[in-house]
Amino acid sequence: MESNKIDRRQRLYEVIEIGNQGDKQSRIFDYFITATILLNIAVLFLQTFDSLARWLPLFETIETITMTIFVVEYLLRIWTADRRYPEVSRSKAIWKYVTSFDGIIELLTILPFFFLSGFVVFRMLRVVRIFHLFRINTNIDSLNVITTVIYEKRNQLASSFFIIFVLMVSSSLCMYSAEHTVQPDAFQNALSGIWWSMSAVLTVGYGDIYPITTAGKIIGIVISFLGVCAVAVPTGIISAGFVEQYRKAEIDPSSLETAINTVIIDIDSRWLGKTIAEAESESGYQLVILKRGDSILKPSPNTKLELKDQLLVFESKHH
């Protein structure tokens, strides 16, 4: 009996996680949840139209149904948390999921439904449901590359954002020095120029605050040109990351040296439950999943290794 419960929990975990191409039940679940998310967000927007007030009972019914689905899904993910994190105990696995990014997003999008009445601050929590859109990225593996790119390029992106921040602060100081005398209301202090510097650096140019002195106009021109270059930096980093990911997906094993071994992940494997990136970092080898169930996969660095995964282990030329 206990074995059947474990098997059912394992199968449920396989269904509610990102499905293999060959696992029809899992793929159907992924697309069902994605459709439910989009329907829930659509209803959230439609409820704001006064002209659609006669449809409000229908919108409320749809909202209740979709939120019930999210609650059930959240509870199921808690129940199968030990399959998501097999390297820790069940209680720790549940806590690890609840405090993970996915767990927090799901909780934040569920709780506001129970606080829609009463104070305005509770009604405003409806906006938090927009975070459901983040989960579309985790439910469709073809979109999961976005998360992978941002994670892998996080250091470069942080550096580029820091450069933009420095540029905004310095431009605010310069504009304050040039414009404070003639526009004391617009540039009261160094921080009051942050709004102008943000619109200039990010090339938005709202025009509500602008320089009128010759020095201020020259500074504005220079900052605007620098802003174009600064904004292009993170864009280039992300673009390069996408190219790298698709190259990895089409990697040719012949470009590596000979295969070292074929590995099947079992219950005692030191890689079980770890991501491809973590396993590669520990071993120094290139890991390529050959087979998971009936499917052949090209995993991303965030793909977690599961029981019975069959891997082909390579050593790169630079190892």
CATH code for the domain of 216: 1.10.287.70
Phi, psi of 287 (to 5 degrees): -110, 130
Q: What is the tally of structural domains in the chain?
A: 3
Assess whether 303 and 226 both reside in one domain: no
Domain of residue 202: give its range: 154-249
Closest by Cα among 240, 252, 254, 161 to 201: 161
Q: What is the pLDDT of residue 55?
A: 92
CATH at 294:
3.30.70.1450
Q: What is the distance between the terminal CA atoms of the chain, rounded to a whole angstrom?
A: 48
CATH at 132:
1.20.120.350
Does any domain span residue 319? Answer: no
Does any domain span residue 212? Answer: yes
Assess whether 138 and 22 both reside in one domain: yes
Assess whether 19 and 134 both reside in one domain: yes
pLDDT in tens, the chain (319 residues): 555 555 778 888 888 875 555 667 877 887 888 888 888 888 878 888 888 889 989 988 998 898 899 889 889 989 888 888 888 888 888 898 889 877 887 787 777 777 655 444 445 555 555 565 565 555 555 556 677 777 778 888 888 888 888 888 888 888 888 888 888 888 888 777 788 788 777 766 566 777 888 888 888 888 888 888 877 888 888 888 777 766 665 554 444 344 456 677 776 677 787 888 888 777 777 776 666 766 666 666 777 888 877 777 765 544 4
Assess whether 104 and 127 both reside in one domain: yes
Does any domain span residue 148? Answer: no
**How many alpha carbons lie under 13 Å from residue 219 in its C-beta half-sphere?**
22
Assess whether 88 and 123 both reside in one domain: yes
